[in-house]
A = this chain, B = another copy of it.
Amino acid sequence: MPATIRDVARLAGCSIKTVSRVVNGEPYVTEETRARVQAAIRAVGYAPNISARRLVQNKSFQICILMYPGLLQPASGILSLIMDIGYEENYDILFQPYFPTHARSKRKLVSLIYEHRIDGFVTTPPCDAEDFVSELLDTFKVPLVQINPFNRPEKTPFVASDDIEGARGMMEHLLGLGHRRIAFLMGPRNMRASFDRLEGYKQALEAHSIPFDPALVRDSEFTFDGGYTAARLLLEGSPRPTAIFAGNDEAALGAIYAARELGLDVPGGLSVCGCDDIAAAGRTWPGLTTIHMPAEELIETAVRLLIQILKGSLPSSNQVFLQSRLVLRGSTAPPAEAST
């Protein structure tokens, strides 16, 4: 039904190849011809058929972002950003939910590579940690850029934030307020952030000569429920921590919920802080003190890097580090009592 390149050629009185040249901005077309073709394109309402182009070029012009929806929700800003980049660069960008070890996710990924011939992938934690993913992409030589990958091999391009530094900064904030018994909510074992943030926690303790107490470190799985349960156990135990540093915001919100349920005021009776700066962190009362992860920049950088690689222009740097920053809201304050 829509016009094809042949319709344009007929109207413009030239060959289809010439039309193709005009459409793709190739040289070797006189200005006069170019204008005539462009007029014809407008006249018949022509737009190139992407499927045909994909077929003949054996490319899909699609890149795919694998993400585990439990952890990374594509926020509003990210979605529109991605749309813009894709529009500029003429690439379709697919968000693909990926559940590690989930059979259907695996089959879908295989289909994306095999049948859709996706040109390249971006992985987000913890998708990169599954061997299946890395081996598959490696086998088929599909270009890949990783965001905050678990491992940081020399050759693979990635974009990362410095979680150790970020966590240390947050600890300095808590320690500066006077907290000494600070609990830490750990994340899942298949994400580097879990370990890096714990490392920052430990480094700060050491810098202040506070002994590391393993009993203050609990698993939260980076979920609301995990944070809630861990906080309940911590707060019902004794001695209580005066602050809880949650490895991510979801867990922090769970911890606040648990504290409130026990009648503890936040930050009056307990300080709570998180990591990531998700949308909900600013929508709760008190606002959640957290570390702002540059999620949009991470994704934008990764996508642009991938497209650069796909276009064959070797980027200046394959491994990019972005800074996070502290966001002080209302959920942290000096401890109520002079703690033991």
Contact with B along A84-104 (1 / 0, CB 8 A): 100100001011110100001
Instruction: Decide if the interface of chain A is mainly helix, strand, loop or mixed.
Output: helix
Whether the Cβ atoms of A75 and B76 lie closer than 8 Å is no
A73 at the interface (CB under 8 A from B): yes
A28 at the interface (CB under 8 A from B): no
Which residue of B51, B96, B97, B224 is within 8 Å of A51 (Cβ)? B51
The chain B residue sitting closest to A45, CB to CB, is B114
A117 at the interface (CB under 8 A from B): yes
A116 at the interface (CB under 8 A from B): yes
Chain B residues closer than 8 Å to A84, beta-carbon distance: 104
Whether the Cβ atoms of B116 and A50 lie closer than 8 Å is yes
Q: How far is the CB of A286 from chain B (nearest CB, A)?
A: 8
The chain B residue sitting closest to A47, CB to CB, is B114
A90 to B123, CA, bound (A): 24
Contact with B along A245-259 (1 / 0, CB 8 A): 000001001101100
Chain B residues closer than 8 Å to A107, beta-carbon distance: 87
The chain B residue sitting closest to A99, CB to CB, is B80
Given A51-B51, A83-B97, answer yes or no on A256-B285 (Cβ-Cβ < 8 Å): yes
Q: Which of A70, A96, A97, A283 has its CB near the most chain B CB atoms (within 10 A)?
A: A283
For window 42-101 of A, CB contacts with B under 8 Å fall at 47-52, 54-55, 60, 69-70, 73-77, 79-80, 83-84, 87, 92, 94-97, 99
For window 249-299 of A, CB contacts with B under 8 Å fall at 250, 253-254, 256-257, 260-261, 279-280, 282-286
Chain B residues closer than 8 Å to A50, beta-carbon distance: 115-117
Whether the Cβ atoms of A87 and B104 lie closer than 8 Å is yes
Whether the Cβ atoms of A55 and B47 lie closer than 8 Å is no
The chain B residue sitting closest to A78, CB to CB, is B69
Copies of this chain, complex-wide, total 2
A2 at the interface (CB under 8 A from B): yes
Which residue of B52, B77, B257 is within 8 Å of A283 (Cβ)? B257
A107 to B47, CA, bound (A): 13
Whether the Cβ atoms of A55 and B60 lie closer than 8 Å is no
Whether the Cβ atoms of A96 and B83 lie closer than 8 Å is yes
Whether the Cβ atoms of B97 and A79 lie closer than 8 Å is yes
A10 at the interface (CB under 8 A from B): no
A138 to B84, CA, bound (A): 26
A111 to B92, CA, bound (A): 11
Which residue of B48, B75, B99, B261 is within 8 Å of A115 (Cβ)? B48
The chain B residue sitting closest to A69, CB to CB, is B76
Chain B residues closer than 8 Å to A77, beta-carbon distance: 69
Q: How far is the CB of A282 from chain B (nearest CB, A)?
A: 8
Q: Which residues of A contact B (CB under 8 A)?
A: 2, 47-52, 54-55, 60, 69-70, 73-77, 79-80, 83-84, 87, 92, 94-97, 99, 104-105, 107-108, 111, 114-117, 224, 250, 253-254, 256-257, 260-261, 279-280, 282-286
Across the A-B interface, give the 10 residue pairs with the lowest CB-CB distance, nearest first.
A69-B76, A47-B114, A51-B54, A260-B285, A280-B280, A51-B55, A79-B97, A253-B283, A284-B284, A69-B79
